[in-house]
Structure 1
Amino acid sequence: MGWPIFGNLPQLGTKPHQTLYHLSHVYGPLLHLRFGGTPTIVAASAAVASALLKTHDANFSGRPLSSGPKVMAYDGHSVAWSPYGDRWRAIRKIVNLNLFSTKALENFRHIRQSEATAMAAGLAAAAAAAAMEVGPWLNACTANTISRVTLGRRLFAVDGSGREEVREFKEMSVELTNLAGEFVLGDFVPALKWVDVGGVVGRMKRLARQFDQFLEKIIREHKEESGPAEQHEDFLAVLIKLNEDGDEDGGKLTDQEMKGILLDMFVAGTDTSSSTVEWALAELIRHPDILKKAQQELDSVVGRNSLVSEPDLVHLPLLQAIVKETFRIHPSTPLSLPRIAANDCEINGYHIPKGANLLVNVWAIGRDPATWADPLEFRPSRFLPGGGHEHVDVKGNDFEIIPFGAGRRICAGMSLGLRMVQLMLATLVHGFDWALPMGQVPEKLNMEEAFGLTLQRAVPLSLCPKARLAPHVYRAA
């Protein structure tokens, strides 16, 4: 199996996660492929993923530096792409302490609530218009939540104006994740590095310049401002201080590290959450009985005179099950970010050589018929009592469903991402009735995927929202 020189690269096609899923059904859940001259291991079952990311986690905690992070993520100087070691630990500690600790998440809860409410208010005001794309609203909500914490201010208007600006940012983010998911020939066949097949590397360089200008502008404007708009020291102020003055040990953040961290926040932080909610809403449109039950649950717990809030989420088991089922069947990252073997090891009796790349097919694991009954069916009840998977969580402990990864390189923003997805989806389900544009029927809703680091819909979801709560609820933006 495989071509001379190119190995298995030509077989991957435009949707590698699906190709690798089908290969695993033929050759088993532990695939040993060759991408050019690089041995590549693909895990396609919970058991194999556990062996790699739990038993042998330390051996697979490094990242290969491919064209994507090298060109677009400041030579890999970020939380997501930094080589495993002391510098990565230091950067991750900065992010965890200031953004993702229990204390930080609680301190910024009012911002998440405010932005979810602002999204609902904007949608209610625009609901009389024709069908609208849901994605830009979700992207603006997540981007504004992150920017208020990171920069102390909103990036985008919340009243529905500036939709073009939001759309441009979303398109840039989607293009970055799509390009980062490309398998660049020169990464695997060094002799052909000079050949830019399809102009992919050229597009990476152009997009990298766009994002660098975007981040430079943010940093410059922040330095020029007299003080933060929020009632807290925002994260960028912390980064600038570490960049200019260093920490107590004298270590300074480089310009590349500072921008790499910001890039992680604005791209990974917005795109993954917004795409997950868009997929969830699409599934609920296709399953109106589940949507109705979710609305009944929300009405019972919250009522119809206020919007759902974060403390309500623990009392919404069906809503949580819908989120888990969406993570299972539409994981935001279908193929994990690649890892690299630091040393030779043995997995299930197979030798894995030092320097081999590792991919975990999260998409395949969520559709594994050995784990899930009727794996292609959207059935949130499987996560409710009596459903067989009621005790499964998505936080990297149960390898049957690992949308945020697992082990040392688990997504740093997992806790924030999970809160955002649950709150945004709950707000949309509670606050609105949803319908397809005239002439479309749920059974024929396009559910095609567009592959990238983040799993996007091939056709953006357009819906007609109708406010269903007391009118005063939507005025509290």
Structure 2
Amino acid sequence: MEHSLSPLLSNLQRLWFFVCLKALISNLIARYSKKQRPKLPPGPKPWLMLGNLPEMLTKKPAHQWIHNLMKEMNTEIACIRLGNTYVIPVTCPTIARQFLGEHDATFASRSLTTCTDLVSSGYLTTILVPFGDQWKKMKKILTSALLSSEKHLWLHDRRTEEADNLMFYVYNKSKTVNNGVAGLVNIRSVARHYCGNVIRKIVFNKRYFGKGRKDGGPSFEEEEHVDSIFVLLRYLYAFSISDYISCLRKLDLDGHQKNVKEALKVIKKYHDPIVEERLKQWNDTPKIDEHDWLDILISLKDANNNPLLTLEEINAQIVEIMIATVDNPSNAFEWALAEMINQPNLLERAIEELDSVVGKERLVQESDIPKLKYVKACAREAFRLHPMAPFNPPHVSMSGTTVGNYFIPKGSHVILSRRDLGRNPKVWKEPLKFKPERHLKSDNGSNVVLTEPNLRFISFSTGRRGCPGVSLGTTMTVMLFARLLHGFTWTAPSNVSKVNLCESNDGLNLAEPLMAVAKPRLQPQLYHL
């Protein structure tokens, strides 16, 4: 009996030895890895399960809490745990360039949020979509089919129509009395609706959803449309508790989902009938000439000559295009004009350049843009000092990696601070002062461009997730600046000694829409369509 048990005991002893040896080796490897692996970026101590969500919820707005926290900790990169998600804010251009340069491939994905899911119809678009086949497909369509230099030239006349209409509308406003003041113009409204007109003309080949207005301004339909787009922009990447505690998503505790659904309902009310009618035209007619981006999206074919895009993809991508084009140019001009009214010498210098390049016998054209260095410097300065959003869309790490001597875990949300990159005192002298001339001595020699690949501020970002619409965005921005600065003199209302440059409580836009008095400075016939 003892003889028969001895082989079994011997095997058990060997098994136990190997189990212990494996545990010892695993423990040594874990200790060594932990010792060698860099630490997480500095950050506040998280609560169990909740992370730093209690602080985020009690110290709103979240972007101010994050920036104040980083200032208190004297750090340009931090780690804030929200639920089980590591959020990594960055305010240093050098570290930002590591994320979007050396490690760009690792951080090429996007976060999944309740609002981005709704707006992208389940991640069918480009900007909001995580890294993968769908993103690659849609990005290729955007860059090659819609935003190529050939298509940009093709749509030149559409953009010019809206620049002409902008002049016509503001000229009419300058001849009317608003709130007892002659020539009083709501700059925020004018700038946003110019951007809305341009992108509607490019996508749908129409300015108005309804009958429009004889003075060139927006009617109820266009106002409702643009207002709804800005609602989406407000909530897309807002810090929502539902995005960090998954079991709370259906509860919509902060109301973000409700607001986004209502805004999408308005937008789809105007978009969907146009798309469906156009799709029917393409299906019923053998050959249709392309007139706009909608035609292009419908006409795209795959290798088997079947439609490349579904109706859902077309509708979702159009919504995303609208979101991507209306905010930055309009916000930049409103802020820039407010700053320039308070510093009249800046307005004078911009007008001198415009009169020198363009003269006063014609309107600014897109062909003038390369020569308008100071006007572009004003736009760059607005992007630097007064970005539309506190942070750029999150870049999600697809694997754990080391950046700036810190370990960034897989799944971390890296958010570059648009606000503090542009206001970093280590990079910019007098960072809080609006000084367009600082951009005339650019890295590009005598050329002034609106892009900033060194991430000293963010305009179009860079890397795989950089904006592919640089040409369109630049053209819209510079034409908005140039046409309105060239065509009108701008002053504050007589009862206002200085424009109030306070930011809103929950964002970075002006606390109140800029109201300025416009007076035409060119020949009357130039303003008429």
TM-score, normalised on structure 2? 0.82
Aligned pairs for 1:8-407 (under 5 A) are 8-12=52-56, 13-27=59-73, 28-129=75-176, 130=178, 131-155=184-208, 157=212, 159-223=215-279, 232-242=290-300, 246=302, 252-385=308-441, 393-407=449-463
CA contact (8 A) 2:394 2:414 kept: yes
1:467 match: 520
1:55-79 Cα shifts (integer Å, max 9, x gaps): 1000000111111111222122211
Structure 2 distance, partners of 1:162, 1:390, is 39
Residues 410, 238 of structure 1: CA spacing in aligned structure 2 closer, same or farther, 3 A cutoff? same
Bigger-Rg structure (1/2):
2
Rounded to whole Å, the distance in 1 between the matches of 2:426 and 2:445 is 13
1:395–1:404: 8 Å Cα contact kept in structure 2?
A: yes
Cα RMSD over matched residues?
2.6
Structure 2 match to 1:447? 502
Q: Distance in 1 between matches of 2:304 and 2:525?
A: 50
1:193 aligned counterpart, secondary structure: helix
How many Å separate the matches in 1 of 2:113 and 2:385?
28
- In the alignment, the residues of structure 2 paired with residue 280 and residue 389 of structure 1 have an alpha-carbon distance, to the nearest angstrom, of 23
Moved more, 278-287 or 361-370: 278-287
Single out whichever of 93-102 and 346-355 deviates more from structure 2. Answer: 93-102
Shift of 1:291: 0.6
Structure 1 residues 374 and 388, CA gap change in structure 2 (3 angstroms):
farther
Q: CA deviation at 1:450?
A: 5.8
Q: Which amino acid aligns with 2:337?
A: L
The amino acid that maps onto 1:299 is: D
Shift of 1:390: 7.3
Identify the structure with bigger relative contact order (alpha carbons < 8 Å, sequence gap 6+). 1
**Conserved? CA contact 2:50–2:83, under 8 Å:** yes
Report the equivalent of 2:27. Answer: none
Q: Quick check: 2:392–2:415 contact (8 Å CA) kept in 1?
A: yes
Which amino acid counterpart does residue 241 of structure 1 have in structure 2?
A: S
Q: Cα offset for 1:350?
A: 0.8
Q: For residues 124 and 486 of structure 2, what CA distance do their matches in structure 1 show?
A: 40
TM-score, normalised by the number of residues in structure 1: 0.91
What is the alpha-carbon distance in structure 2 between the residues aligned to residue 88 and residue 398 of structure 1?
A: 25
1:17-74: per-residue Cα shift (whole Å, max 9, x none)?
A: 3333333333311111111210111111101110101010000001111111112221
Relative to structure 2, which stretch is displaced further, 130-139 or 18-27? 18-27
Where does residue 458 of structure 1 map in the other structure? 511
Contact 1:132–1:463, Cα closer than 8 Å, also in 2: yes
SS of equivalent residue, structure 2 residue 402: strand
Residues 151 and 236, structure 1, Cα contact 8 Å, conserved in 2: yes
* Partner Cα distance (1:135, 1:424) in 2: 12
Whichever residue aligns with residue 409 of structure 2, its letter is: P
Give the Å deviation of 1:438: 3.3
Encode CA deviations 1:333-382: one digit per residue, 9 max, x unaligned: 43111121100100111111111111111211000000000100001111
How much identity, in percent, do the aligned residues show?
A: 28
Instruction: Check 1:342–1:3 CA distance in 2 against 1; reply closer, same or farther (3 A cut).
Output: closer
Distance 2:470 2:105 in 1: 20
Deviates more, 1:132-141 or 1:181-190: 132-141
Matched, 1:422 2:471: no
1:6 equivalent in structure 2:
50
